[in-house]
Amino acid sequence: MKIIVTYISIVIIATLFSVYFLKIKPDTKKCLSQITGEIKSDNLKSFIDSLSEKKNGTWKDTPNKYDIYYNDVAKKINSSPEKYFPDALNIISNKSYDQSQKIYTILLMQHLPIKKYMCLMDIINNEVRSNNIDNEVAKAAILPDLNIMGTTIYYWWLPDWRDRFKENSKKILDKSTIDDVLSGRYSFSNI
């Protein structure tokens, strides 16, 4: 009986390990290779261009940054963010896009599968290190979004997500919020 329990335990652990590496663990090099500087989606490009600070003021001046979800184009992008993912990476990493355009792009990517979302976090962390994205905009990417129940609210426990969260969290968030996120209180108190 002891051998059977041990065998079952090994099979379960091996299965979880395989699923993690095949389905969840992001490939950072592959992620970075998607940044080509070219934006192929006319929908995303024209929508994000319409939200530039030159045309609308900053995102901080708007009463509610989530109002973009009332737009039909934004709804379309939000419903299938994987299709727009490479373009989103190009917008976020491009200095010619302003902070408003970057935060709206991040908001539209909140429902990516976790593997791709961690790739997005890698790009955000690179941009924070390079001072190409301000802390408030970066916060929209690394802090689980409770307003729209984004993907990351469910993955606070995942080691790779936690590593990405911790990378710049001390620059962006207060210690209490960091502790709440890493302990799960942040997610559980709002689900």
Determine the pLDDT at residue 16. Answer: 47
For the chain, the helix, strand and coil percentages under 3-state DSSP, each to the nearest 5: 70, 0, 30
Determine the pLDDT at residue 42. Answer: 80
Number of domains in the chain: 1
Full residue range of the structural domain in which residue 57 is found: 2-188
Determine the pLDDT at residue 8. Answer: 62
Complete DSSP assignment for 90-141: HHHT-TTS-HHHHHHHHHHTTTS-HHHHHHHHHHHHHHHHTT-S-HHHHHHH
Q: Is the pLDDT of residue 2 over 90?
A: no
Q: Is the pLDDT of residue 92 over 90?
A: yes
pLDDT in tens, 131-158: 999 999 999 998 888 788 888 888 888 9
pLDDT in tens, 102-132: 999 999 999 999 999 999 999 999 999 999 9
